[in-house]
Amino acid sequence: MGINILTLCYLIASVTYILGLKMLSNPATARRGNLIAAGGMTLAILATIFLYEYDGGLRLHNYAWIFGGIFIGGLIGTLTARKVHMTAMPELVSLFNGMGGACAALISIVEFDHLFHENKIDAAFFSDKTDGGMYLIIVAGAIIGSVSFAGSVVAWGKLSGKVKDLSFRGQHIANLVVLLMTISAAFFAFHANVRHANIPFFVTVLLALIYGILFVLPIGGADMPVVISLLNSFTGVAAACGGFLYDNKAMLTGGILVGAAGTLLTILMCKAMNRSLKNVLIGSFGATAVHTTVTQPQGAYKEISIGDAAMLMNYAHKVMIVPGYGLAVAQAQHACHELEKLLTDKGVEVKYAIHPVAGRMPGHMNVLLAEADVSYDNLLEMEQANEEFPSTDVVLVLGANDVVNPAAKNDPSSPIYGMPILDVEAAKTCIVNKRSMKPGYAGIENDLFFRPKTSMLFGDAKKVLQDLIAEIKTL
């Protein structure tokens, strides 16, 4: 009877994952969807702890260790998530994703160790004592989970500024060699003597960790949204391997959903940048190492005062705000929403133009604006926004750079050439807020800053927005 109830619990949990994932597609229902999926996960965990049977009806009994681990991990996760600023959310997501990959890898390591100690008394080959399909799942979980863990930690370091982009001549060949060595070690472990099979297996895990580091190191910062999505899909696949090992339907379903969602998101991110996944992985777009040429000055730029900017926005019919990473760094999302409300009260139509790869992770700008209670109805995707720019009086670009760079349209020599951008120069006036004239994350000059319709408004985004609000209130 216990097994039937356990299966039912897994079925309910699987349904909540699917329902929660569906609800995450809309900011209005995302929070509720997240809670529903979390509730299903809690049900699956508790059902496994109290109802799972093994070895002829035995159940788990070491509850102190189990709940002790859950409590400590939950406490650390809760405190970390509560304390982190929204600007640091991308690296937190990357780090948490890495922890998921590490868990999946540890599951495979534990299961291999169990098989090893069970059979090491024999002198036969490991392949004679182990089902090939079972070993394939174990080693796949170990390799993919290790790559996801190591790669996510490097991504976390790069996003937080602790790790710099690193590339060298022949790096992609070196990565391929390490990957082939990893697969070879896994193959050798399966065909080794049972008594010594653990050595090549742990070499496999070590090489997978090294590959995960080398895999992410050369990838430039501008490609981080794609990399995070890809690593997320890796973690899902590794978790699904654990579901196969334990015949756990809830774990299998969750892993497949994460893997599929991460893969689809990776494809969408690549499409938004008009680049192939191969180009992202080997192109080092945005890496500091590849920008060896000095960008030449492109002419004079115009600077606008707070008073003039406030005047233009106050008497405009339509204003479009383009948020970028500078908005996140300044934690200016609440001030931005306050400006929006102030202009709306004065009869100005205000909308936000969101580029798919703005920020440092998929949906970064949406998350920031949702935190400030910006209405989802005011958020326009790139295609919608580009249709409305020609009828827009003022565009206010807040800390965005590469996603509004005209070089993507008219400079074939540019590394971002072909990437769809927000066509802000189609508006009557474009005001760009930046701290300085330094290039964006892709490391290239932005010709938009020197266009006739563009005026620069220098300063911290939060301070600039607060000054704009104060000035508009006096008009």
pLDDT tens digits along 306-339: 999 999 999 999 999 999 888 888 888 899 999 9
Give the separation between CA 204 and CA 185, rounded to whole angstroms. 5
Catalytic residue (choose from 165, 223, 402, 467): 402
Q: Mean pLDDT throughout 390-419?
A: 86
Residue 402 among the catalytic residues = yes
Instruction: Look up the pTM and report it.
Output: 0.80
Q: Mean pLDDT throughout 431-447?
A: 78
Give the pLDDT band (50/70/90) at residue 413: confident
Res 226 pLDDT > 70: yes
